[in-house]
Every structure is written in C-alpha cells, then in structure tokens.
Chains A and B, each alone.
Chain A
C-alpha cells in the first residue's frame, strides 16, 4: 500500500510553533537568562505570523484546513502570544515563577489553539483543545508555591477535564450516528438523516464543552476563581486565547456540522447569551479584586460576542471575529496596567492613581473606556459593528438587552476610573517598568485608539 506523504505546507505554522516550543524546553537547560527564551518565543511567533498567509490549503486527508477563517483566528492567537510574552518577562521574575517551561507552555498552548481553529475533523479539534487546555492548566498553577495559584490550577483542571469528557461523549454519539468525524461529512450525513433526539443530545454536550471554554454562564464558574488565582500574565493570556479558540470552534462546528439544526442551537445560544451577559455584568459590580472584576467582565464580553454567532450571518461571524481581535488588545492592555503596578490587584489600590501616576492612570482610563465601549475607542467600534450586524439579522430586541447590560457595565468599569481620578491617594503607587512591558502597553493602547479613530482598518 502506498501512503502518500502529506502536504505539510498548510500546517507549517503549527509545525514551527510546536518545534519552537520543544526547542525551548531543551534550550532552557542551556540558558541561564530566561529572557533569551522569551525572545526566541517571540521570534517563532513572528516567523509564524510571516508565513501564515501563504499556508492556505487542506492536508492530512482533509482533517486539517487552513482557510481565511482559521488564519484570522491564528492572528489573534499569535498577537495574544506575543503580548503575553512581553508582559510576562519581568512579571514572572517578580512572582518567582520564572521557569523555562513557562514560555514553552505558552507556545504549546498557542499551537493547540491554532490546531483548533484549523480543525476540520473532530479528532484534530479534540487534540488541539487538549493541547491548549493541558498547557493552560499548568500555566495557571505555575506559581508552585502560591496556594491561590494551586487552587486555580486544580479547579481549572478538574472542571476542564469534566467538560472534555462531556465533549467526547457528544463526539462519540455523533460518530455513532454518522460514521465519521469529519465536520463537513457530518453535515452532509445529518442533512440526509434529519433531526433525532440523539443528535440534539450530542449537539448539547458538544455545545456545553465549548461554552465552558468561552466561560459562558452557567458554565462560567471556573473563570473568576482561575483568573484571580493564576499569575496575572496568564490571566491575560487565558482571557483572550482560549476564549477566541472556543469561538473559532463554535463558529466552525455549529455553522457547518450542525447546519440543519440551526434553529435549535440558535435558541439555546440566545438563552445562554442573555444569561451570560446578565451574570457577567451583574456580578462584576460587587467585585473588589480587579482581576476578578475583569474575569466577570470577560464573561460578559463572551455574552456579547455570542450574539455574533446567533446572528447566523457571515456579517455576524465577521463582527464576532473583529470583536475578538479588538478585545485582545483592550483586555491585555488592562491586565498590563495591573501588572505594571506593584500593588494593583485590589480596586482600592487605584485610588488617587491619577495624581500619583498620571500616565498610568490615563492609559487605564483608555482601556476602561474601551471595555465600556465609549467612542472613540476600539471597544465602541467592536460593539457598534457587532450590534449592527445582529440588528440586520433581525434580533433587535436582543441588541436592546445587550445595550442595557452594556450600560450596567459602565458602572464597574468607570468605578476604576473614578477611583483613579476622584478619590484621594492612600499611598504612593510603585510601578515596575520594563522595556518589554512598555512596548506591550504601547502596542495595545495604540491599537485601541487607532482602531477607534480609524475603524475602516478592521471593518470590511
């Protein structure tokens, strides 16, 4: 039997990513200075970014596909990776968590996300998902000597394992019904067989697992605890990367494999989206820890982004992708500010920051405005774009609800601003500035403002 050697061109970005991650593990033994590893990681990411556009195509017998959809998501992952490395550099030294495998795991996790975005087969999807998940479990607990970090890791790990099991059970049912794990073949098969209870069950199981990854209510409960306990750089990483990957697979699987039961999953997702927006926004109000607040805020944003999926149109999907792209910058930017401060995890740490560190406060203000969706920041463009797409799809009432929750969100985002500008300073805020962190903040703030002022850059 003659097995042809698979065409590796479409999968080169993933190969480079994985090889670099492996190389980092080895190089860690050689280099005392872990900054070198970070640099190599960024180089690898840049290389991947460079060759990605040329990687269009299918390979591995149609299990892996690299199309414009997956490439856009991979851009988000790579940006997420680079920004995370930049904000990590000094921070993990400060946190005494500078292990060489830190960067290696970041790369592995990113490789997993990339696989997820490109998966055309549920097996690949599962493997990508696990590669991402297993790496992030470790990263969440990388502060080995910190109880909170341990707690975050174990919670994330157990619940993540639980959701993977649900996913697998759903996939196995789907496989039993259709004899295949190829997403497009499943779609064809389902068109022929029609809707059955088993199909609905398997769809729901798969949906639950994906919703877990994007932290949609009521599968969100891990997120606040894990975001709070994990090192802040990893929180930033997790709040963007895995979430975007989750949306990538939801978009791919639901729009293709479950095309014939679109009305069913749309109804489910509408309920979930409303619940998610409600839980995220309402619970964020009473938080006193800013990482926890941002965790709930990221839950709320997942609710908004779900609307893009619900719209069921290409425009909605595009708006969702744009939103995630913008969200990456504004969210990591906000976390970068949390990192720059010596004591920045509690909301009360921000009191009077404007008098003490006006520039830091002004930057935080930009990110908070953007997360709220106040023009002329990118956050406004993201929301405007998304809501217009959803209105065009005929869900005006859903947008009204979203706007209402968005108004509630102003309450807790602007509370940070109020603390910074209106309250009296309690103590001098010390900051830890490093070139890489400054670079990350510069990139994020510029993107937030540039996209806000020139939205045509990303829309259309």
Chain B
C-alpha cells in the first residue's frame, strides 16, 4: 500500500506548482487552471487523509470543493468573456488600468 506521506508529498508538490504557476504565468486562463490545480491538490490530500483516518468527512468535503470549483470556473470564464468582449485581453499585463 502506498504510504500516506507519498500522497501528502504529491499534494504539496502539486499545490506549489499551482501556486508558482499562478504567480509566474500571465495568461488569465492559465492562472485559472493553476487555481484548479491547487484546489485539486487539496482534494488529493483530503481523500488521502480520509482514507487513512477512516473518516468520511474528508471525502464529503472533496465533493463540495469540486462543486464549488466548477461554479468558480464558470463564473471566472464568464467574467473573462465579458472582459474579452470589451478589451480583447487575456494577459494580466493588459489589464492594469487601475493602480497606485
């Protein structure tokens, strides 16, 4: 059986990849995906904990997270579409009208 630490390690690595991706990538779609990556790393660790602790709560939580993430993606894309209609921009460099 795969030990718990491996799952936790995997989750941590994916989380960090997501985080770094969010910070370094300037394409909003990729940033959105990075967030999804981070959320899914959380899902991995929750399911792993749930399994090893023999407690269903973690898995229930995962379902909620997946649902919310779906809603989040829908909203994010909708906002992006609205932005794209007005400005034809998907790069964060191009949406810097407000600053200071």
Contacts and interface: CB of A to CB of B under 8 A. Distances in A.
Given A168-B65, A172-B45, A225-B98, A141 B82 contact: yes
B80 A151 contact: no
A158 B42 contact: no
B15 A158 contact: no
Contacts of A148: 97-98
A228 interface: yes
Q: Which of A134, A151, A286 has the most CB of B within 10 A?
A: A151
A138 B57 contact: no
Nearest to B65: A168
B6 to A, nearest CB: 14
B77 to A, nearest CB: 10
Interface string B41-80: 1100110010001010110110011001001100110111
Interface in A141-158: 141, 144-148, 150-155, 157-158
Contacts of B99: 225
Contacts of B15: 165, 169
Interface stretch (A73-81, A122-130, A326-334, A404-412): A122-130
A295 to B, nearest CB: 10
B72 A165 contact: no
B32 interface: yes
Interface string B18-44: 110010000010011001001101100
Given A130-B68, A157-B75, A123 B42 contact: no
A158 B64 contact: no
A154 B46 contact: no
Contact of A169 (B42, B61, B71): B42
A231 interface: no
A165 B97 contact: no
Given A137-B79, A141-B82, A158 B35 contact: yes
A240 B26 CA distance: 31
A162 B22 contact: yes
B64 A126 contact: yes
Nearest to A226: B98
A150 B89 CA distance: 11
A180 interface: yes
Contacts of A154: 28, 76, 79-80, 83, 95
Contacts of A225: 98-99
Nearest to A174: B49
B100 interface: yes
A224 B98 contact: yes
A155 B42 contact: no
B73 to A, nearest CB: 9
B14 to A, nearest CB: 10
A394 interface: no
Contacts of B64: 123, 126-127
Contacts of B80: 154
Given A141-B82, A150-B87, A161-B76, A176 B45 contact: yes
Contact of B79 (A126, A141, A162, A172): A141
A314 interface: no
14 contacts: A138-B78, A144-B85, A145-B86, A147-B83, A151-B83, A154-B80, A154-B95, A157-B75, A162-B19, A164-B39, A165-B19, A171-B61, A179-B57, A229-B98
Interface of B: 8, 11, 15, 18-19, 22, 28, 31-32, 35, 38-39, 41-42, 45-46, 49, 53, 55, 57-58, 60-61, 64-65, 68, 71-72, 75-76, 78-80, 82-83, 85-87, 95, 97-100
